[in-house]
């Protein structure tokens, strides 16, 4: 079993500070809209060129174990900032370096570390309040400017993001996916989309495109499996009376229930389709509740 190296006092603080400085000094060259790029060597594949602070921080591993502890502390600051805010990782790294450096000086001068920590907490609360007072919402052309800065000063990307935000609003969802062409495209999806298909090809309404399109449909949202015909019968009768299509979203539709739906579809008695709900457990329940809210209905939960 390998032995542990134990270091106390000023020696340990200075070693950790050295690690903090090595990581922070590397990361802070990327700060701001005019920050420099950093080239990262990879064990496999070509090098990576980036000016994203957290990406640089995650790639730094120091040989000295104690110095590496300091680097890990600052790396954690950058990672948590990225998780919470999605940006500002380099600023957080620079602040962490300054706080630790001045904290070491104060401890060396005889200050109590816990008193310093309490003072930092009080100062943080005041600073956060001040920032909230100075903050103003990003609107209009400013959205494109902020987005361009986050995209390494790429105005075209900034413009696309600004257009997306204008179309979906502040409560909308924007996702980024890797495309198959050389151009960057914006695709606005009205309503809701989830990756599930019909449970039987007999539900298809357009054989050429193999699509099932239901207009002004009634929607049954159920958390559990549907396998019994008698469970579905009241729903089918009510749907037939209204003369509207029916979409069923459930954990699964199988056996007698699925066969009944297929027969009704083939006979032309009912326009119907059944789809499996996405996810598992609480996640699936949340998705079904989202669908219910979007469609103005109520999910049937057990």
Same domain, yes or no, for 82 and 142?
A: no
Same domain, yes or no, for 65 and 149?
A: no
Summary count for the chain: helices (H), strands (E):
10, 7
Same domain, yes or no, for 256 and 221?
A: yes
Same domain, yes or no, for 129 and 144?
A: no
Residue 165, pLDDT score: 80
- Asked, for residue 196, whether it belongs to a domain, the answer is no
DSSP per residue over 98-165, as a string? Answer: HHHHHHHHHHHTT--HHHHHHHHHHHHHHHHHHHHHH-----THHHHHHHHHHTTT-HHHHHHHHHHH
- Asked, for residue 269, whether it belongs to a domain, the answer is yes
- Asked, for residue 116, whether it belongs to a domain, the answer is yes
Query: For residue 231, is pLDDT > 90?
Result: no
What angle, rounded to 10 degrees, do the helices at 9-27 and 89-108 form? Answer: 160
Bridge partners of 40? 48
Of 190, 213, 232, which residue sits at a domain end? 190
The CATH number that applies at residue 95 is 1.10.560.10
Using the 8-state DSSP alphabet, how is residue 208 labeled?
Answer: T
Spatial separation of the C-alpha atoms in residues 96 and 90, rounded to whole Å? 10
Residue 1, pLDDT score: 52
Q: Which residues of 162-173 are buried (b: 16+ CB within 10 A; e: fewer)?
A: bebbeeeeeeee
Same domain, yes or no, for 75 and 99?
A: yes
Min mean pLDDT across 16-20, 187-191, 211-215, 234-238 is at: 187-191
In this prediction the pTM is 0.60
In this predicted model, what pLDDT tens digit does every residue of 174-198 receive, in sequence order? 788 887 888 888 887 777 777 777 8
In this predicted model, what pLDDT tens digit does every residue of 66-94 receive, in sequence order? 888 999 999 999 999 988 887 788 899 99
- Asked, for residue 108, whether it belongs to a domain, the answer is yes
DSSP per residue over 273-296, as a string? Answer: EEEEPPSSHHHHHHHHHHHHHHHT
Same domain, yes or no, for 290 and 244?
A: yes
Residue 2, pLDDT score: 62
Same domain, yes or no, for 209 and 129?
A: no
Total tally of structural domains belonging to the chain: 3
Average pLDDT rounded to a whole number, residues 96-121? 92
Containing structural domain, residue 18: 9-134
């Amino acid at each position: 079993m390998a032995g542990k190296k134990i270091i106390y006092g000023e020696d340990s603080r200075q070693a950790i500070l050295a690690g903090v400085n090595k990581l922070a000094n590397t990361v802070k060259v990327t700060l701001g809209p005019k920050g420099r790029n950093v080239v990262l060597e990879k064990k496999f594949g070509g090098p990576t060129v980036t000016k994203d602070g957290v990406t640089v921080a995650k790639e730094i591993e120091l040989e000295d174990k104690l110095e590496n502890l300091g680097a890990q502390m600052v790396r954690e600051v950058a990672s948590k900032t990225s998780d919470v805010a999605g940006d500002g990782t380099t600023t957080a790294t620079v602040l962490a370096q300054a706080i630790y450096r001045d904290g070491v000086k104060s401890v060396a001068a005889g200050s109590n570390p816990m008193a310093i920590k309490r003072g930092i907490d009080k100062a943080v609360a005041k600073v956060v309040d001040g920032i909230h007072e100075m903050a103003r919402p990003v609107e209009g052309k400013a959205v494109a400017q902020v987005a361009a800065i986050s995209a390494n000063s790429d105005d075209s990307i900034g413009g696309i993001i600004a257009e997306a935000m204008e179309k979906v609003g502040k409560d909308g969802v924007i996702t980024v996916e890797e495309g198959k062409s050389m151009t960057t495209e914006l695709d606005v999806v009205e309503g809701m989309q989830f990756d599930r298909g019909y449970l039987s090809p007999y539900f298809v309404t357009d054989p050429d495109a193999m699509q099932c399109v239901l207009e002004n449909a009634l929607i049954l949202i159920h958390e559990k499996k549907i396998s019994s015909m008698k469970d579905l019968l009241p729903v089918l009768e009510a749907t037939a009376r209204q003369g509207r299509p029916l979409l069923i979203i459930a954990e699964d539709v199988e056996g007698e229930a699925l066969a009944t739906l297929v027969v009704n579809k083939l006979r032309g008695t009912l326009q119907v389709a059944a789809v499996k709900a996405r996810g598992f457990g609480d996640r699936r329940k949340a998705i079904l509740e989202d669908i219910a809210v979007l469609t103005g209905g109520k999910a049937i939960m057990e």
